[in-house]
Amino acid sequence: MKKKKHAFKPESLMMSYGYKPSLSEGAIKSPIFLTSTFVFKTAEEGKAFFEVAYGLREQYPDEEPGLIYSRINNPDLEILEDRLTLWDKAEDCAVFESGMSAITTVLLEFLKPGDLLLHSIPLYGGTDHFIHHFLPKIGVHTVGFKPHQRRKEIEQILDDTGKADRLAMIFIETPANPTNALIDIACCKKIADTRSSADKKVYLAVDNTFMGPIWQQPLKHGADFSIYSATKYIGGHSDLIAGACCGSNEVITRVKFLRTLLGNMASPHTGWLLMRSLETLKVRMEKQAKNARRVAEFLDNHPKVEKVYYLGLIKPGTRAHEIFERQYKSTGAMVSFDIKGGEAEAFRFINALKLIKLAVSLGGTESLVEHPATMTHAGVDKAHLAEVSVTDKLVRLSIGVEHYKDLLWDMEQALEQV
Ligand SMILES: *Cc1c(COP(=O)(O)O)cnc(C)c1O
């Protein structure tokens, strides 16, 4: 029989890819390389490693970048980064000590004074704050658009700024937090392309925390960056803070260089924990999505619930449904809903829950509940929030891996008390 070349699926490679047991006494798992610096065999080797690290010359075809110092590179981070490239089919990846450090490092590297940043609304609170309160201090202009707006309207918003020729980046978050509103990545790519010129490329960055890396691959739709808060699904156990950014060799080389200067890389211990998490990422997310479907159906049929925001409830034939079909492989594990009433009713429900814990963050093995208007989104402009359906009656759930019957029981008894 002719031997066919077989390509393993990412989930089959999460236990071994990028790690050579023979370099670590045969240990099946990568040790945690708790070391600040690495010993060079010779002065010539040290010189060669630095030439590559500082970009003084191109790497030779069969040359491996040498380990120098843990702010620049560390085995736990390198193996983790190699594994993270697989889902996104990226050339390279950089991991960070938080999702915010991944986001801010990309923005700082690819924006300069006078530039314009176009972004989707709503954004994660920390990202929103950085864009509206920090970027203006260094002379970067920003303008936002909302999920329902189409290409023509977005182009109009750009032109109305009078600075469209300085557009340098489009930054989007899809599905948007906390309402699961969808943004069309391919449409943003078209805008980026038409606004690019021979000497200025407009980059497209996607915060892929909610559905990536398993169910949404932004690079496939033309994005230059797929960015993560690895604190959420990738870490998945609510026990660490980390971030990641995937993209081409060209852009990630720039991102890693700034990371080396800012020193905001993940620690070896965090890198090791994330490698452990990656082994179960797919099974966790699949179970969470299954549970979320049960939860969404329950809420959708409950008399005390006004509206459910969940990807599985998007109506066929709508523009959102067309984006959903093209961009996503699952309906995900985030469910938000409007309770009948307002803040008082929402709080009564939240306070009555026994199994589902009241905490911000998401994507972990345990189910969490929070009230966006007074918690995660408390700092966002109220007028903006109302326009994107974030009101006092909105409750956000991140569904975990518990038995779904326990989740339904908990919500039923809590709703009874409203
Ligand atoms: C949590 C989160 C972030 C920030 O990540 P940290 O790891 O907390 O720094 C950014 N974007 C989204 C969508 C998030 O949920």
How many CA atoms lie less than 13 Å away from 120 in the CB half-sphere? 28
Q: Is 266 in the pocket of ligand 1 (CB under 6 A)?
A: no
H/E run at residue 92: strand 92-96
Closest residue by CA, ligand 1 atom 11? 124
Find the 99 Cα to ligand 1 centroid distance in Å.
5
Q: Indicate which atom in ligand 1 lies nearest the CA of residue 361.
A: 1
Find the 103 Cα to ligand 1 centroid distance in Å.
9
Cβ pair 335, 296 in contact under 8 A: yes
pLDDT digits (tens, 9 = 90+) for 52-66: 888 888 888 888 879
pLDDT for 120: 96
Q: Is 178 in the pocket of ligand 1 (CB under 6 A)?
A: no
Same fold, 75-278 and 281-416: no
Q: Indicate which atom in ligand 1 lies nearest the CA of residue 231.
A: 7
Pocket test for ligand 1, best of 128, 231, 360 (most atoms within 8 A of CB): 231
Find the 208 Cα to ligand 1 centroid distance in Å.
10
Q: Indicate which atom in ligand 1 lies nearest the CA of residue 230.
A: 7
Q: Is 99 in the pocket of ligand 1 (CB under 6 A)?
A: yes
Q: Is 124 in the pocket of ligand 1 (CB under 6 A)?
A: yes
Q: Is 222 in the pocket of ligand 1 (CB under 6 A)?
A: no
| Rounded Cα–Cα distance for residues 407 and 251 (Å) | 43
| Rounded Cα–Cα distance for residues 359 and 371 (Å) | 9
CATH number of 75-278: 3.40.640.10
Q: Indicate which atom in ligand 1 lies nearest the CA of residue 123.
A: 13
Find the 361 Cα to ligand 1 centroid distance in Å.
8
**For the chain, how long is the longest CA-to-CA vector?**
74
Cβ pair 181, 172 in contact under 8 A: no
pLDDT for 158: 97
pLDDT for 223: 98
Which class is domain 281-416? Answer: alpha beta
Weakly modelled stretches of the chain, pLDDT under 70 = 1-2
pLDDT for 8: 96
Q: What is the DSSP string of 128-153?
A: HHIIIIIGGGGT-EEEEE-TT--HHH
Closest residue by CA, ligand 1 atom 4? 99
pLDDT for 3: 73
Cβ pair 194, 166 in contact under 8 A: no
Find the 162 Cα to ligand 1 centroid distance in Å.
31
Write 217-221 long-range contacts (CB < 8 A, 24+): 217/87, 217/88, 217/89, 218/88, 218/185, 219/88, 219/89, 219/90, 219/246, 219/247, 220/89, 221/185, 221/186, 221/189, 221/326, 221/327
Q: Is 97 in the pocket of ligand 1 (CB under 6 A)?
A: no
Pocket test for ligand 1, best of 210, 229, 240, 398 (most atoms within 8 A of CB): 229
pLDDT for 1: 61
Q: Is 98 in the pocket of ligand 1 (CB under 6 A)?
A: yes
Q: What is the DSSP string of 96-120?
A: ESSHHHHHHHHHHHH--TT-EEEEE
Q: What proportions of the chain, in percent to the nearest 5, are helix, strand and coil?
A: 40, 15, 45
Instruction: Break the chain into its structural domains and give their ranges.
Output: 75-278, 281-416
Find the 100 Cα to ligand 1 centroid distance in Å.
6
| Rounded Cα–Cα distance for residues 180 and 55 (Å) | 41
Pocket test for ligand 1, best of 232, 245, 270, 370 (most atoms within 8 A of CB): 232
**Coil, strand or helix at 212:** coil
Closest residue by CA, ligand 1 atom 5? 99
Q: Is 241 in the pocket of ligand 1 (CB under 6 A)?
A: yes
Q: Is 207 in the pocket of ligand 1 (CB under 6 A)?
A: yes
| Rounded Cα–Cα distance for residues 136 and 142 (Å) | 8
Q: What is the pTM of this model?
A: 0.96
User: 55 to each of 117, 261, 366, how far by Cα in Å?
Assistant: 28, 14, 44
pLDDT for 22: 95
Find the 258 Cα to ligand 1 centroid distance in Å.
20
Q: Is 264 in the pocket of ligand 1 (CB under 6 A)?
A: no
